[in-house]
Amino acid sequence: MNSACIDIRNLNVFYDGHTALKNISLSIPHRQITAIIGPSGCGKTTLLRSINRLIDFSDGVKVSGEILVDGQNILGPKADVTSLRKKIGLISQKPSPLPMSVYDNVAYGPRIHGMRDKKELDKTVRNCLETAGLWEELKDRLRTSATKLSVGQQQRLCLARSLAVKPEILLCDEPTSALDPVSSQNIENKLAELKKYYTIVIVTHNIHQAMRLADYVVHLYLGELVEYGPANEVFQKPKEDRTRAYINGTAFKELEIDSQINLKGKVCPLNFVFAKEALETRCREEWKPTARR
């Protein structure tokens, strides 16, 4: 049953000459949750955007290699990008509601793909909003502008909007980064349920979330694939030192964390704080760090 659903072969992505993904090869199994972990800026979003070709919209980007979805190379010239994107939904890191009402946001996809019947649309919208855990909150406000929702609500709305086109694969880029613990818990539960019907790829900075959810784990580091395999193996006995360092927050000599995690000025994930501290303690003699006294 674990037939591969997405097969990535020798994928390279360059932005204006600088390499964002180096020679990635992996297969993402059917109807499982695959988690992509790794420090900020390591290319997780880039990988997701390659899988549904949204990468086409980045400036100065060059992609080489193959991504096979159901045996067809979606990077090839003959790929039908439009139907590909319907099949592979992507929920982006930053929620982006379309400039229309809540209802129209969810109905946007189905309408475009040919659903006209009012009743059917109503049902789809309701189902999707329920799945995303928004129905109770918003059932009286379906006609208000989606841009007025809170960020967390927008995030869930984007999930509902993606579900509405009945994708087969869901790519979620940090779906819970804008949510409170309870809502994240809800989303996690939903994803665990949805796994029955969808192949799910999720990017997360939260190792515990990955441990709770993932069947498979992909660890990226500075654009390279470090380790990849079933979750229990990777989490329990990682083959790679760097993975162990990332998971346990223990030190690893080669980590140039400082420069890397501050790339985007983002708050670094908790385990990196550990990793950094460990690094400093261990290397104190050699490095003479300017750290706090």
List of residues contacting another protein (CB under 8 A):
31, 52, 54, 56-57, 82-87, 89-92, 94, 96-101, 108-109, 112-114, 145, 147, 158, 161-162, 165-166, 168, 196-197
Residue 250 and residue 271: Cα distance in Å, rounded?
Answer: 8
Tokens standing for residue 215: 């069947």
Q: Which of another protein, ligand ATP, Mg ion, none does residue 132 bind (CB under 5 to 8 Å by kind)?
A: none
Residue 124 engages Mg ion in binding (rule: CB under 5 A): no
Interface with Mg ion (CB under 5 A), residue total 2
Question: Which residue is nearest to ligand ATP, using beta carbons?
Answer: 45
Q: Which is nearer to Mg ion, 146 or 203 (CB)?
A: 203
Residue 131 and residue 167: Cα distance in Å, rounded?
Answer: 14
Residue 45 engages Mg ion in binding (rule: CB under 5 A): yes
Q: How far is the CB of 55 from ligand ATP (least distance, A)?
A: 9
Report the DSSP beta bridge partners of residue 84: none
Binding site for ligand ATP (CB under 6 A): 15-16, 20, 40-46, 58-59, 93, 263-264, 266
Q: How far is the CB of 229 from ligand ATP (least distance, A)?
A: 20
Residue 280 and residue 288: Cα distance in Å, rounded?
Answer: 9
By CB under 5 A, name the binding residues for Mg ion: 45, 93
